Structure 1
């Protein structure tokens, strides 16, 4: 029985080969996990990978995330005070909204489009090609939770 070339794995395998990476089970499972769990931390990705490759080691997933990030197939973000997160949305100029209460991270399109969308007053001779912008606040669920009356004072 031949495998269809239109399986979800085939897109991932093509992406890996296109980035000159060897196609391995941990890399395929890791790239798929990042796609299924946007803005996930490493532990979440490891659990998701183990659903498909139960014997995979932590180190194999860490190595896969590093290789995928270096190949620009995955983007690593780390908002201040949070652990690193990974997303498969690469190649565009987008930013993030982060909830100060629950740590939810949401993609937000850049209104300016091309990178860099901001410029410093004095670039000090740097050739700037990217600006990272993170908006902080409370997500709608946390806003609703904050507006609920608390227990009566005793």
Structure 2
């Protein structure tokens, strides 16, 4: 285990009320080792760890892990859903309009949810999601638009 985590992946699954399976453990480890991965990349990484796993099983595990708050699903406009292991801190993202690469951006200013809505319409707001759009350094220097 790397970083400050002291609990095993299996222990985290149990604490979240999820059944521990080899696929769920491998999938969670794949997401955490990756960088805003799409479902195909997660499936590939999971297969490298445990062998054959169906795409349907990957979708089901991602749905369970997302609902349990162990992974976060983001959907930049015009891009397939992506998943990340950084959860609970209400961070934002910067997305390249040319190649689609995504990077984390810490909370803009202040306490979560970082941004105050000009009108809450009676909602109790818990989170703000912001995507900044532009060109990554590689696309900026290559002349992509």
Same-fold call, TM cutoff 0.5: yes
**Alignment gaps of 5+ in structure 2:** none
1:69 aligns to 2:66 (yes or no): yes
Q: Name the larger-Rg structure.
A: 1
1:51 aligns to 2:48 (yes or no): yes
CA contact (8 A) 1:95 1:108 kept: yes
Per-residue CA shift, 1:39-84, capped at 9, x if unaligned?
Answer: 0000010011010121211111111101000000000000111110
Per-residue CA shift, 1:94-144, capped at 9, x if unaligned?
Answer: 100000001000001113242211122221111111110000000111001
1:87 aligns to 2:84 (yes or no): yes
TM-score by length of structure 1 reads 0.86
CA-based RMSD = 1.8
> After the TM superposition, which parts of structure 1 deviate over 4 Å for at least 4 consecutive aligned residues?
none
User: 1:20-35 to 2 correspondence within 5 Å?
Assistant: 20-35=17-32
CA contact (8 A) 2:38 2:80 kept: yes
What is the match of residue 103 of structure 2? 106
User: 1:4-23 to 2 correspondence within 5 Å?
Assistant: 11-23=8-20
TM-score by length of structure 2 reads 0.91
Q: Which of these residues, 111, 115, 119, is aligned with residue 112 of structure 2?
A: 115
Give the aligned length: 141
Q: Which of these residues, 123, 134, 138, is aligned with residue 137 of structure 1?
A: 134
**Alignment gaps of 5+ in structure 1:** 1-5, 148-154
- Secondary structure, counterpart of 1:89 in structure 2: coil
